[in-house]
Amino acid sequence: MARRKKVYEGKAKILYEGPEPGTLVQYFKDDATAFNAEKRDVIEGKGVLNNRLSEYFMTGLNAIGVPTHFLKRLNMREQLIRAVEIVPLEVIVRNYAAGTIAKRLGLEEGTALPRPIVEFCLKDDALGDPLVAEEHIMAFGWASQQDLDDMVAIALRVNDFLSGVMYGVGIRLADFKIEIGRVYENDFQRLILADEISPDSCRLWDIETGQKLDKDVFRRDLGNLTDAYTEVARRLGVLPSNATPITKPTLIN
């Protein structure tokens, strides 16, 4: 069998050439990094959990009309996706203060923000993904005004969906990061949700106890990361071990 071609390798995922033009295979690794890859480790099982969780969120978003790159899950660690041209911006939505906004504006972690705040960071590891303003984005041509409007609209729809899904299982969505890709259809281009949605790129807090169920467990050495992600997957009913159909008949007595 021919060895498939690796197209890109990032910190947590690998992209391989897909079976058809315009598709890619996205492989979820177990590697965890934080603080611009200064802290790194291999967390057994993380890739499997993130593959399942990202499938779950992307499928739900597709179902409510948010366009995504997700086509189908192939196996425990891989999913088939549409090839896109990634917009070089990280789009962050915040509902509660944490991380860099807490530091930057002197807010106590957990403070509810007046409304969801959308921020953009330039995707550039060497520069530490600096926060950029719309003015920079347009002046340097990273995205147009129309792109920005579309990115904010997608980000806010993802926020409403994810906040609701998480609230339903007793989890507060403090913030998250998404990436957006461009696809070309004839003479037109449009923007779709790309990359992944997983606890690697969200802040998730248990509503009752405040327990962190996201990558901060790794960043701040708060315990076992796989346990935290497994808890999220368990509450959402998407654990790999839950793969049996939920319609399976149950015998009573």
Under rule CB under 6 A, residue 217 binds ligand TYD: no
139-167 burial, b at 16+ Cβ within 10 Å, e below that, comes to: eeebbeeebbebbbebbeebbebbbebbe
Q: Is residue 70 within a helix (H) or strand (E), and if so which, with residue range?
A: strand 70-73
In terms of CB distance, is 18 or 53 closer to ligand TYD?
A: 53
In terms of CB distance, is 21 or 114 closer to ligand TYD?
A: 114
Binding-site string for ligand TYD from residue 196 to residue 215, where x marks contact by CB under 6 A and - marks none: -----xxx------------
Q: Is residue 78 within a helix (H) or strand (E), and if so which, with residue range?
A: strand 78-82
Q: How far is the CB of 82 from ligand TYD (least distance, A)?
A: 21
How far apart CA 173 and CA 147 sit, in angstroms, is 25
Under rule CB under 6 A, residue 172 binds ligand TYD: no
Looking at 55, 147, 175, 231, which residue binds ligand TYD (CB under 6 A)?
A: 175
In terms of CB distance, is 27 or 176 closer to ligand TYD?
A: 176
Q: How far is the CB of 236 from ligand TYD (least distance, A)?
A: 18
Under rule CB under 6 A, residue 52 binds ligand TYD: no
Contacting ligand TYD within 95-124 (CB under 6 A): 98-100, 121
Binding-site string for ligand TYD from residue 62 to residue 101, where x marks contact by CB under 6 A and - marks none: ----------------------------x-x-----xxx-
Looking at 27, 96, 176, 205, which residue binds ligand TYD (CB under 6 A)?
A: 176
Distances in Å between the alpha carbon of 9 and those of 3, 12, 139, 250? 16, 8, 30, 44
Question: Stretches 2-10, 42-50, 149-157, 170-178: which one binds ligand TYD (CB under 6 A)?
Answer: 170-178
Under rule CB under 6 A, residue 231 binds ligand TYD: no
In terms of CB distance, is 61 or 98 closer to ligand TYD?
A: 98
In terms of CB distance, is 18 or 225 closer to ligand TYD?
A: 225
Contact 236/169 with Cβ under 8 angstroms?
yes
Residues 6+ apart with CB under 8 A from 125: 36, 37
Q: How many CA atoms lie within 13 Å of 66's alpha carbon, on the beta-carbon side? A: 25
- φ, ψ dihedrals at 205, nearest 5°: -120, 135
Beta bridge partners, 219, equal none
Could you tell me how many residues of this chain bind ligand TYD (CB under 6 A)? Answer: 13
In the block, tokens 């990436």 appear at: 179
Residues 6+ apart with CB under 8 A from 89: 120, 121, 122, 123, 132, 137, 142, 143, 151, 179, 180
**Can you give the binding site for ligand TYD, defined by CB under 6 A?**
90, 92, 98-100, 121, 129, 175-177, 201-203
